[in-house]
């Protein structure tokens, strides 16, 4: 299995809602990432998990809360988002040692905040 | 810090034309270098990679060579097809543990029949 699976593919939520994005991989990768991509821009790193522990938080607002319940799953919990948080949210995974082998990305969740 | 500079787009070519997308980088040590492609409405797909100087990555007719002396990793294809229309991102990562993938700004490529 060489895929990263993200669900849902599309999500529309109100500013008072709570929702979660899910990411799953079965490649044995022990590093997982959340990126945010706005239209016509490159992805921007949000969080990195290494061996299921949060290792990098790129000063992301607390309305985004990541969780890594096990080595195959990564969640992003969303609460009280703003319209400017509308974007494509990408999950990725890689080996911890040997990132030169590449990062595998999921197809993303397109989030619209209304 | 690490950074990647890509040629600005958009780039429009006719089918069967030769493609070059320039990419240069700034990094400490010996980063790994990547080209990713993003088709409309989709996530990023790894196109090719190189992990050390003079390595040539290749896939689907695309090639790029890791040039340490010029800190470059230019993407080339000899004969493009309409199906190559997409956004191309040059990126680098360090080699010490799980790290941020640093992207260039992306180059939008359109191939006309």
If pLDDT is split at 50, 70 and 90, which confidence band does A99 have? Answer: low
- Closest partner residue to B98 among A58, A99, A101, by Cβ? A99
Going by C-alpha positions, the residue among B38, B43, B60 that lies closest to residue A3 is B43
> What does the CA dihedral A74, A71, B95, A91 come to, rounded to 10 degrees?
-20
- Of A38, A46, A47, the C-alpha closest to A84 is A38
User: From the centroid of its chain, how far is CA A9?
Assistant: 12
Distance, CA of B39 to CA of B87 (rounded, Å) = 6
Chain A positions touching B106 (Cβ under 8 A) are 40-42
Give A37 to chain B, closest Cα distance, Å: 10
Yes or no, beta carbons of A42 and B34 under 8 Å apart: no
Q: Which residues of A make CB contacts under 8 Å with B?
A: 6, 30-31, 33, 40-43, 45, 48-50, 55-56, 58, 88, 90, 92, 94, 96-97, 99-108
Backbone angles phi, psi at A100, to 5 degrees: -65, -15
Report the residue of chain B nearest A95, measured CA to CA.
B98
Structure tokens at B98: 């799980």
Cα–Cα distance, B44 to B38 (Å, whole number): 5
Q: What is the pLDDT along chain B (113 residues), one digit of tens a residue?
A: 889 999 888 999 999 999 999 999 999 888 999 999 999 888 999 999 999 999 999 999 999 999 999 999 999 999 999 999 999 999 999 877 677 899 999 999 999 99
Name every chain B residue with its beta carbon within 8 A of the beta carbon of A31.
97-98
Q: Look at the block and give the residue holding tokens 């997409």.
A: B86
């Amino acid at each position: 299995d060489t895929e990263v699976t993200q669900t849902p593919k599309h999500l529309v939520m109100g500013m008072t809602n709570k929702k979660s994005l899910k990411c799953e991989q079965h490649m044995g990768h022990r590093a997982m990432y959340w990126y945010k991509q706005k239209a016509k821009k490159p992805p921007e790193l949000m969080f990195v998990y290494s061996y299921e522990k949060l290792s990098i938080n790129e000063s992301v607002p607390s309305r985004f809360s990541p969780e890594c319940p096990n080595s195959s799953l990564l969640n992003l919990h969303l609460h009280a988002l703003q319209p400017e948080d509308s974007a494509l949210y990408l999950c990725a995974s890689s080996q911890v040692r040997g990132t030169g082998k590449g990062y595998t990305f999921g197809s993303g969740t397109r989030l619209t905040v209304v | 810090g690490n950074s990647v500079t890509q040629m600005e787009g958009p780039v429009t070519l006719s089918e069967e034309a030769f493609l070059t997308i320039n990419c240069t980088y700034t990094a400490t040590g010996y980063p790994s270098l990547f080209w990713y492609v993003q088709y409309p409405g989709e996530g990023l797909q790894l196109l090719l990679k190189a992990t050390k100087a003079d390595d040539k990555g290749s896939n689907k007719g695309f090639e790029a060579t890791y040039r340490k002396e010029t800190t470059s990793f230019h993407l080339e294809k000899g004969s493009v097809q309409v199906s190559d229309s997409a956004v191309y991102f040059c990126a680098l990562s360090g080699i010490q543990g799980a790290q941020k993938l640093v992207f260039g700004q992306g180059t939008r490529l359109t191939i006309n029949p």
